[in-house]
Amino acid sequence: MTTPTQPVAPTEATWAYTEDYVSTSEAVGAARDEAIISGQVPISPGVVAALSVLAKAMGAKAIVEVGTLHGASGMTFLEAMGTDGILTSIDVEADNQLGARKVFTGAGFPSSRFRLIAGSPIEVLPKLRDEAYDIVFINGDKLEYVEYVALAARLLRPGGVLAVHDALWYNRVPDRDDESDEAIIIREALEAITGSEQYTQSLLPVGNGLLLAVKN
Ligand SMILES: C[S@@+](CC[C@H](N)C(=O)[O-])C[C@H]1O[C@@H](n2cnc3c(N)ncnc32)[C@H](O)[C@@H]1O
């Protein structure tokens, strides 16, 4: 085979290979399993791996996430942060957070390492401290992504990273013929990031799409 002179688009098999390249820990696996059993969608193993690298490389000590579910992403961050790192996780469904609490404490993390806040992120995010967070991870209601992105900027310290999950939303965001509310709103959120001089960003086709933007 002659080597192409340009990169080629990943195939389904390539995508699956990258997703399976790193195994998740037992605790993250348990949180993912709980979510899947309840018919919901946790972050994929590829996203777990990418977020772990990010949090470790940054030496993150304070992370906010929108969308706790059963704790797959929260557990990922707790494992990746140093022993003094604190996770703040917001979800509108308090019942979901019961499962997450079980996973975190079962893995040996004391309640002083995490804050689970049940409520609307649109109401909770404005109450969090200015420039106090290393990472803001967005994985809540797609229809509120524009608001989450707008509210996240104030929370990040300079050099902090905004991570937006589901940025490609089942391949629907790049499909310009897709006029579903989710696709339109995620596109708007992505455009707000690229249109802002506050960030330097990259859109990665891992999992369901992961936008990473560092605050300048
Ligand atoms: C895709 S799941 C989050 C997955 C989680 N980060 C993980 O890794 O397993 C989305 C979560 O957003 C929550 N959610 C849905 N609508 C919401 C809203 N309007 N405000 C806050 N959370 C919401 C759901 O309860 C659900 O737990």
90 C-alpha to center of ligand 1: Å?
Answer: 8
Which atom of ligand 1 lies nearest, measured to the CA of 76?
A: 8
- Alpha carbons 44 and 204: distance in angstroms, whole number: 13
* Structural element, H or E, at residue 114: strand 114-118
The string of DSSP letters for 37-84 reads HTT--PPPHHHHHHHHHHHHHHT--EEEEE--TTSHHHHHHHHHS-TT
Q: What is the pTM of this model?
A: 0.97
Contact 131, 104 (CB under 8 A): no
Q: Among residues 158, 175, 174, 178, which one has the least CA distance to residue 211?
A: 174
Going by CA atoms, what residue is nearest to atom 7 of ligand 1? 42
CB atoms within 10 A of CB 62: 20
Q: What is the pLDDT of residue 1?
A: 76
The CATH number given to 12-215 is 3.40.50.150
Which is the closest atom of ligand 1 to the Cα of 141?
16
**Residue pLDDT tens, the chain, 216 long:** 788 899 999 999 999 999 999 999 999 999 999 999 999 999 999 999 999 999 999 999 999 999 999 999 999 999 999 899 999 999 999 998 999 999 999 999 999 999 999 999 999 999 999 999 999 999 999 999 999 999 999 999 999 999 999 999 999 999 999 999 999 999 999 999 999 999 999 999 999 999 999 999
Tokens found for residue 47 = 């996203």
C-alpha dist (Å) from residue 46 to 134, 208, 212: 21, 10, 14
Ligand 1 site residues, Cβ closer than 6 angstroms: 35, 40-43, 67-70, 72-73, 91-93, 96, 120-121, 139-141, 144
Q: What are the boundaries of each domain within the chain?
A: 12-215
